[in-house]
Amino acid sequence: MAVTMKDLAKYAGVGVATVSSYFNGGRLRPANREKIERAIRELHFEVNEVARGLRVDHTKTVGVIIPELDNQFCAQIITSMEDELRQYGYATIVCDCRTRPEREREAVDFLRRKRVDGIINMPVDGTGGHLKVFTDTERPVVVIDRELPEIECDQILVDNQSAVRKAIGLLLENGHKDIGLLGGPENVATARERLLGYRGALEEAGLPFRPELTEHTDYTISGSREKMEAFYARVPDMTALLALNYETTAGALMYLNEKGIRIPEQLSFIGFDNRDFAQAARPRLTIVEQPTSEIGLQAARRMLARLSRKEEAFRIIKLQARLLMGGSVRALNE
Amino acid sequence: MAVTMKDLAKYAGVGVATVSSYFNGGRLRPANREKIERAIRELHFEVNEVARGLRVDHTKTVGVIIPELDNQFCAQIITSMEDELRQYGYATIVCDCRTRPEREREAVDFLRRKRVDGIINMPVDGTGGHLKVFTDTERPVVVIDRELPEIECDQILVDNQSAVRKAIGLLLENGHKDIGLLGGPENVATARERLLGYRGALEEAGLPFRPELTEHTDYTISGSREKMEAFYARVPDMTALLALNYETTAGALMYLNEKGIRIPEQLSFIGFDNRDFAQAARPRLTIVEQPTSEIGLQAARRMLARLSRKEEAFRIIKLQARLLMGGSVRALNE
DNA sequence: CCCAAAAACCGAAACGTTTCGGATAATTGT
DNA sequence: ACAATTATCCGAAACGTTTCGGTTTTTGGG
């Protein structure tokens, strides 16, 4: 059915090895090159990547494992990643593990059996043990967003401490001292880092850390909404609130809106992630914006680099978040 | 390096064809079956899908082309789709075409070269011409969300007319007569259908269709926000507003919030898609919710069916949206 | 114009499966 | 117990590439 390299070689009147060499950038006599090119045009030949893959043992495919696709943060990262990878001929196989470690482990195994050339992973399992079966095959792994100290590989992270410090810094500048923090679960590494940033910023400013001013959530909208109730009742004197991810931002906003607590008059507010949301809210939210596209791009670049030249030491890259100014922070001083 | 079928056969003391037959559900003498299974355990054998793919000419891989991954509607669909496909051993390659027809065409070509077994596509190009190069290979295509009348294949759609009729119905029941519509571009099929649903519902109720009560947007948040300004100024007598997708919902809300127009006291509002947003808004929004997971699941099922047994007529499945009640609609009557 | 060196070419063997057709072993009926 | 039948088994050929050695052609210096 399909025209093969052998057909092409016969049609062009050259050996099959010559044709192969043509496609792999070898040196050719101009006459032969011309003959082959004409044959390709006339036969509409296309090399069979599967056959090539069998021979050279790579599939030009990379696997991506994420906690949940249905999450703008992940989706944005994958968008830029896929774009870059495809530009270099690599296909992106996504696996959504629904934030479940056992499904993450299954995904690694699935991708290994699919013989992907590499895996990019936003890990759920903080030990990284799930990646062992893959790294054993000598293939590269790039970890994104959540640091995996026990795994030797490239990692593209966000400087979460600094991100939070920027937000707290803005609040401090505006005279806030009693700053509430709506944080994440204690077992999520990035949530811990952000909490650390909060404590660090306060300490630097010579302010005491008041434990009752921080609340942990499960990082879901409804969960955050629930927690806010008791939280705000407990410390009514807080003048500002920082939510540590998209879900807590939405959940907090939900509660504040319901109760008619006005932003920023009664409470200054800084959110995290999700530009749409921040722009549509009233007033426009001041938010910490993570460099999602940049994460995806860098991860793809790192993967491509590993795939072409093996050597080179592993890199851990920390990207900076930035503060997007809205109208949800009130100046207490002046 | 890796252990091959030949190694396994030799170790087990049987022929290589016997081993192959074992893996493909052939009949085996119990003794041989036992020997092979032991060999598999002891050698940790795993069949090489690439080699198998070369021989049988399929990759156990399906390609998905969507307008934009960074869009909750698409992301949710893909999540359930990928889940189902993976359960049956199929990998999902995603291609985001950024709502650009030329990139969509490129994606089809990319996937064809990658030799995916089938393509699931939420089309940008309304003619479906981009799919020709793939259907020519006799491989199945499943179209989702936007009908492609000119293409012969399975299609999983949403009954957009009925979805909008439900929303308008609710508003009519509540005594609204001057209902504004914030719609999409004229060249988007689903937007046209929704507009049709609007007209149909009014007509059925014996109400006149007032053209000035409908506004077209480019389906972006900022674009919708802009349009709202002139729109609301033009017909200040509208008592209710229906936004026709997530972006118009967010954009409209943005404007209304900015201007301090109170929902539902001054204006009743029904949005579209995106539960998070609707729940976090104040008051909780009444919205039209599309069956995203169901679309993904059905599309995957259809694809799997096609891939296993070729026959069967093409099906066009229309799924129903449902109205999620919030507090953004006021009763004018009673 | 000739010869050696270099460049380009070639067929065949591999990559790890499935499948084909013939060979062998098990089963059945008499 | 034996022939006929049926159920398994087997090696070899195929799938479409790349790569290995060896052969042929081209090039360039004398």
Indicate if B72 and B26 belong to the same structural domain: no
Q: How far is the CA of B28 from the C1' of D21 (A)?
A: 43
| Chain B touched by A248 (CB under 8 Å) | no
Interior CA angle at B69 toward A298 and A89, to 5°?
A: 55
Cβ of B49 within 8 Å of Cβ of A250? The answer is: no
The reported pLDDT for the residue numbered B187 is 87
pLDDT digits (tens, 9 = 90+) for A225-239: 889 999 999 999 999
Chain position carrying tokens 């009908």:
B147
The reported pLDDT for the residue numbered A258 is 78
Residue-wise burial string across A66-87, b where 16 or more C-beta atoms lie within 10 A, e elsewhere: bbbbbbbbbbbbbbbbbbbbbe
Cβ of B281 within 8 Å of Cβ of A257? The answer is: yes
Distance from CA of B178 to the nearest CA of A (A): 25
* Stated pTM of the model: 0.94
**Which 8-state DSSP code applies to residue A63?**
E
Query: Can you give the C-alpha Rg of chain A in angstroms?
Result: 26
Q: Which of A82-86, A274-278, A293-297, B205-209 is predicted least confidently?
A: A274-278
Residue from the list B54, B91, B96 with its beta carbon closest to the beta carbon of A114: B91
Beta strands in chain A (DSSP E): 61-66, 91-96, 118-121, 141-145, 154-158, 179-183, 214-216, 240-243, 268-272, 286-289, 316-319, 322-324
The reported pLDDT for the residue numbered B304 is 96
Q: Are B54 and A50 a contacting pair, CB within 8 Å? A: yes
Chain A and chain B share a number of CB contacts under 8 A equal to 120
Distance from CA of B264 to the nearest CA of A (A): 14
Chain B, 205 to 224: residues with Cβ < 8 Å from chain A are 221-222
The reported pLDDT for the residue numbered B253 is 87
Q: In chain B, whose CA is at the least distance from the CA of A85? A: B95
Indicate if A127 and A234 belong to the same structural domain: no
How far is B15 from A331, CA to CA, in rounded Å? 81
Task: Tell me whether residue A184 is in a domain.
Answer: yes
Indicate if A66 and A148 belong to the same structural domain: yes
The reported pLDDT for the residue numbered B1 is 65
Indicate if A260 and A190 belong to the same structural domain: yes
Indicate if B260 and B303 belong to the same structural domain: no
Task: Tell me whether residue B53 is in a domain.
Answer: no
The reported pLDDT for the residue numbered B59 is 97
Indicate if B167 and B280 belong to the same structural domain: yes
Task: Tell me whether residue A52 is in a domain.
Answer: no
Average pLDDT over residues B25-29: 89
Q: Are B264 and B328 a contacting pair, CB within 8 Å? A: yes
Indicate if A22 and A99 belong to the same structural domain: no
Indicate if B201 and B112 belong to the same structural domain: no
Task: Tell me whether residue B311 is in a domain.
Answer: yes
Give residue B36's identity as a one-letter amino acid code. Answer: I
Number of domains in chain A: 3
Indicate if B176 and B285 belong to the same structural domain: yes
The reported pLDDT for the residue numbered A333 is 78
Task: Tell me whether residue A334 is in a domain.
Answer: no
How far is B176 from B194, CA to CA, in rounded Å? 19
Q: Which of A253-267, A318-332, B98-112, B166-180 is predicted least confidently?
A: A253-267
Task: Tell me whether residue B328 is in a domain.
Answer: no
Q: Indicate the helix (H) or strand (E) that contains B306.
A: helix B292-308
Strand C CB-contacts below 7 Å: A 9, 13-18, 21, 27-29, 31-32, 51, 54-55; B 1-2, 4-6, 16-17, 19-21, 23-24, 29, 45-48, 51-52, 54-56
Q: How far is the CA of A15 from the C1' of D21 (A)?
A: 15
Q: In chain B, whose CA is at the least distance from the CA of A1? A: B137
Q: In chain B, whose CA is at the least distance from the CA of A111? A: B91
| Chain B touched by A70 (CB under 8 Å) | yes
Task: With CA atoms as reference, report the closest residue to B228 among B259, B268, B273.
Answer: B259
Distance from CA of B216 to the nearest CA of A (A): 19
| Chain B touched by A277 (CB under 8 Å) | yes
How far is A123 from B92, CA to CA, in rounded Å? 19
Q: In chain B, whose CA is at the least distance from the CA of A254? A: B280
Estimate to the nearest angstrom the gap between the alpha carbon of B120 and the chain centroid: 9
Residue B89 is encoded by which pair of tokens?
């051993």
Range of the domain at A128: 59-158+292-320
Task: Tell me whether residue A119 is in a domain.
Answer: yes
Coil/strand/helix, residue B195: helix
Cβ of A92 within 8 Å of Cβ of B91? The answer is: no
| Chain B touched by A97 (CB under 8 Å) | no
Indicate if A217 and A245 belong to the same structural domain: yes
Q: Which residues of B touch A250 (CB under 8 A)?
A: 276-277, 279-280
pLDDT digits (tens, 9 = 90+) for B236-291: 999 999 999 998 998 898 888 778 899 999 999 999 997 777 877 778 899 999 99
| Chain B touched by A290 (CB under 8 Å) | no
What residues contact B180, with CB distance under 8 A and at least 6 apart? B213, B214, B215, B231, B232, B235, B238, B240, B241, B242
Q: Are B141 and B155 a contacting pair, CB within 8 Å? A: no
Residue B185 is encoded by which pair of tokens?
């571009």
Coil/strand/helix, residue B319: strand
Indicate if A63 and A33 belong to the same structural domain: no
Alpha-carbon separation of residue B280 from A225, A239, A272, A281, B228 (angstroms): 9, 22, 15, 10, 21
What CATH number should be reported for the domain holding residue B231?
3.40.50.2300
Task: Tell me whether residue B243 is in a domain.
Answer: yes
pLDDT band at A1 (very low <50, low <70, confident <90, very high): low
Indicate if B224 and B316 belong to the same structural domain: no
Average pLDDT over residues A241-246: 95
Average pLDDT over residues A98-127: 97
